[in-house]
Amino acid sequence: MRFLEKTFSFDDGVTVNRLGYGTMQLPGKGVWGPSLEPQNAVKVITTVLDHGVDFIDTADAYGPLFANLYLKKALQQRPDTKVMIATKVGFTRQGPNKWIPNGRPEYLRQQVELNLFSLGLDHIDLLQLHRIDPTVPLEEQLGVLRDMQKEGKIKHIGLSQVKVEQIKEAQKIVPIVSVQNRYNLIDRTDEDVLNYAEQNHLAFIPWFPLATGKLANDKRLQQIAAKYKVGPAQIALAWLLKRSKVILPIPGTKSVAHALENLKARDIELSDQEFDDLSELKAE
């Protein structure tokens, strides 16, 4: 039986609970515009904070800015709660579901500043480059983040949706502490990136941990879910928690009830047999 580690340490001073929360579902449809229920959006965040979540993923591009503004309000309502905020820069938005990368250093600098304003923070705990812009030298994209790290505005730097070779290139420019790639029980395309993260103690932050909700309705998870008296979503999260001690899942939801359900995954320790059986599943 593999021992399930509950926390992950980014450095000597920063250790977080591995099951976090992602804000992308909070803005309007297509991650565009405000939530139809802004007060509920804030409540989802205060709820997870009240239940021990201390790692929250967001991005200036979510809304844009609306997710950050809800998060800022929630943090203001919980001034004594210690939480690590991971945000991102590098995407521009043109409308619902439209995303175009821009890695020009002047744009990245502007977006780090906008993240600080919209989150109400004086520094960013973890700043992730949302996408590497293929039209801009990597040295320029990470160089400006390295400068802002020296200025005290960024504590740690991470990457998103990258290949192993790109992580190695980036590590020649600046220390990298995390990678955020698409990964879940039925989409393990980036297994090599996860293995590299594990070998190098980088946090691996899987986006779409529930396959955008598909896994919450996957009948193949029902039997094990019934045994633990939870839903399939929590089994999919428990599988991620067991898969590697560097995985920090950030399930997204705009529902307080779903957020509370998902937190139950922290208490599920799948047997090795259950883990192996689940690992056989493929996308349907």
Task: Tell me the two tokens of residue 32.
Answer: 């565009």
Q: What is the identity of the amino acid at 146?
A: R
Residue choice 159, 211, 238, 278 for contact with ligand NAP (CB under 6 A) = 211
Nearest distance from C-beta of residue 216 to ligand NAP, angstroms? 3
Q: What are phi and psi of 55, to 5 degrees?
A: -140, 115
Determine the interface stretch with ligand NAP among 10-18, 102-110, 205-213, 239-247 (rule: CB under 6 A): 205-213
Q: Is 212 in the site for ligand NAP (CB under 6 A)?
A: yes
Would you count residue 22 as binding ligand NAP (CB under 6 A)? yes
Tokens describing residue 47 = 């709820």
How many amino acids of this chain bind ligand NAP (CB under 6 A)? 28
* Residue 3: CB minimum distance to ligand NAP, A: 26
Contact status: 247 vs ligand NAP (CB under 6 A): no
CA angle 193, 67, 250 (to 5 degrees): 35
Out of 16, 19, 24, 157, point to the residue binding ligand NAP (CB under 6 A).
24
Of the residues 43, 213, 269, 281, which one makes contact with ligand NAP according to CB under 6 A: 213
- Residue 209 interacting with ligand NAP (CB under 6 A): yes
The correct pick among 111, 149, 178, 262 for binding ligand NAP (CB under 6 A) is 262
d(C-alpha 181, C-alpha 168), whole Å: 15
Coil, helix or strand at residue 125: strand
Q: Which is nearer to ligand NAP, 85 or 233 (CB)?
A: 233
Q: How many angstroms separate the CA atoms of 138 and 216, rounded?
A: 37
Chosen residue from 115, 141, 149, 253 binding ligand NAP by CB under 6 A = 253
C-alpha radius of gyration, the chain, whole number: 18
Could you tell me which residues come within 8 angstroms of residue 163 by beta carbon, excluding any fewer than 6 positions away?
193
Q: What span, in angstroms and rounded, lies between the C-alpha atoms of 68 and 59?
A: 7
Residues in CB range of 191: below 8 A, 6 or more apart = none
183 in active site: no
Site string for ligand NAP, 160-179 (x = CB under 6 A): xx------------------
**3-state secondary structure labels for all residues of 39-74:** HHHHHHHHHHHHCCCCEEECCCCCECCHHHHHHHHH
The tokens for 262 are 């998902």
For ligand NAP, the closer of residues 116 and 205 by Cβ is 205
Asked if 163 and 133 touch (Cβ cutoff 8 Å), the reply is no
Tell me the per-residue interface mask from 96 to 125 with ligand NAP, x by CB under 6 A, - otherwise.
Answer: ------------------------------
Select which of 62, 70, 107, 196 is catalytic: 62
Q: Where do contacts with ligand NAP occur on this chain (CB under 6 A)?
A: 22-25, 57, 130, 160-161, 180, 207-213, 216, 231, 233, 250-255, 258, 261-262
- Catalytic machinery residues: 62
